[in-house]
Amino acid sequence: MPKPKQFLKDDSRKKKVSKHAPQVPETADEFLAAGVDHEEAGEKWRGGDAAKSTRFFVRAIDTYEAGLAKFPDSFDLAYNKARVQYEITQHPKLRGQLPGNLLDLLHVALESSRRALALKQDDPDVIFNTAQVLTSIAEALDDVGSDAGSLVPLLEEAVELFQRCLTLQEFRFSESEAMRDSMNTAEGPSSPIDDSDGGAPLAPAAATSSPQPSEEQWASIVEPTTPDTLLDTILALLETLTVLATKLDPRGLAALEEYTSTLLVKLPTYLAPSPARAPEVGLTRANLLSALAEAGFRAGTIDAATYERAITEAFSELDLAADPKGLTDKADAMLSFAAALRTQPVEDGQQQQQIVARWGALTQAGSALGAAAKVPAAMNLARIHLARGDAEMLRFRGCSEAGAC
């Protein structure tokens, strides 16, 4: 089942403190303001009129591109253009209004993301976004049956970028925490820091240098690095590693397992400030462990019983009763297990054992999909029912091959 995409980092970067853009933009800031106005109009219509919404988003992209033609070194223009191009690909109703297929649109977004990244290589948000686009391209290629050789380089680059993003964010978070502690010590208990603006007090000059009423004041809103930010990034990294695990050459599996184990050790630390996100973290971890087990089984490093046990243990601690995504992810893991059993050679005398294992996996997958379809919040019901039908068909085929039905 396709996974819903996490939206791009730092969507607030496009928001500026300003008046509405002039009719004919001349400066980089004016092009930026005009593009933001078009984006806001697109967001307004996104839920009701897909065609109208898409037109506004396309105008925003065109405006940012026109600004870049005059100001090619403007990072904000390049960043916004790339971000909007990718966001459109993640909304099927909007994407359907544009010419070209999903892969065409994603490659355009990747080109724009690389341009923005070249302008500011140490910006965590554009690094994160570029990694997301690379992962989306790999997933889209996988959906159309492309060979693993074309996917792995994209996924490996995405992993490198997510890791770079995480390293930068960890450094900045440590810096901000050290600064906060230092200010708390210097100010003492009688002068608390106002946390409403991220803990940084205004410099004296900022309070006295207010602009004239006729002037426009511009300020990019850059979100501070928080524990939630770190958690977002490590989860995105783990999701990409989940895709990579089943595509990687077996010779690289040991290194991948070692790398992922170091990341999984960090998860509780990042989760601690946001315990409400425990189900999300648990599901991401379960999907990764299931993918690693599949890779290990296909590489011959673990047997079928160990593979099945890894899936069972990965999902055992999760409460999936009201989680349609969790239920469909568990079903996917069981379907992958059944498929792996079918494609691997079976030793003499173990055919019946394999049939029983496949039957059990397909039964669990069908049950999970049936439960997912009954959850009121379930999305993509048609796909859930289709996947359930596939599971039942495979179960019947296995039954027929065994002569048991």
User: In this predicted model, what pLDDT tens digit does every residue of 32-86 receive, in sequence order?
Assistant: 999 999 999 999 988 888 999 999 999 999 999 999 999 999 999 999 999 999 9
- What's residue 167's pLDDT? 96
Percent helix, strand, coil in the chain (nearest 5)? 70, 0, 25
Return all residues near 73 (Cβ < 8 A) that are at least 6 apart: 119
Q: How far is Cα 399 from Cα 386, in angstroms, rounded to an integer?
A: 20
- Rg over alpha carbons for the chain, rounded to the nearest Å, is 25
CB burial of residue 251 (10 Å; 0-12, 13-18, 19+)? exposed
Q: How far is Cα 184 from Cα 242, in angstroms, rounded to an integer?
A: 41
Return all residues near 354 (Cβ < 8 A) that are at least 6 apart: 304, 341, 346
Q: What's the mean per-residue pLDDT of the chain?
A: 85
Higher pLDDT, 10 or 186: 186
**pLDDT tens figures, 247-303:** 999 889 999 999 999 999 999 999 999 999 999 999 999 999 999 999 999 999 999
- What's residue 393's pLDDT? 87
Higher pLDDT, 201 or 402: 402
**pLDDT tens figures, 128-170:** 999 999 999 999 999 999 999 899 999 999 999 999 999 999 9
Mean pLDDT along residues 199-220: 43
Q: How far is Cα 244 from Cα 266, in angstroms, rounded to an integer?
A: 20
Q: How far is Cα 244 from Cα 249, in angstroms, rounded to an integer?
A: 10
Q: What percent of the chain has pLDDT over 90?
A: 64
Tally of CA atoms within 13 A in the half-sphere of 332 that contains its CB: 20
Q: Which amino acid is at 113?
A: S
Q: How confident is the model at residue 216 (pLDDT cuts 50, 70, 90)?
A: low
Q: How far is Cα 263 from Cα 255, in angstroms, rounded to an integer?
A: 13
Q: How far is Cα 87 from Cα 212, in angstroms, rounded to an integer?
A: 37
Tokens 């928001």 label which residue? 15
- What's residue 377's pLDDT? 83
- What's residue 198's pLDDT? 40
Q: How confident is the model at residue 197 (pLDDT cuts 50, 70, 90)?
A: very low
Token pair of 278, please?
A: 């425990």
Q: Which amino acid is at 53?
A: S
Q: Is 192 left (phi over 0), alpha (psi -120 to 50) or beta?
A: beta
**pLDDT tens figures, 309-350:** 999 999 999 999 999 999 999 999 999 999 999 887 766 666
The two counts, helices (H) then strands (E), for the chain are: 15, 0
Q: How far is CA 207 from CA 125, 175, 223, in A?
A: 29, 25, 21
Q: How far is Cα 403 from Cα 355, in angstroms, rounded to an integer?
A: 11
Task: Check residue 147 and report its DSSP letter.
Answer: -
Residue 220: how many other CB atoms lie within 10 Å? 15
CB burial of residue 164 (10 Å; 0-12, 13-18, 19+)? middle
Angle, in degrees to the nearest 10, between helices 324-343 and 278-299: 0
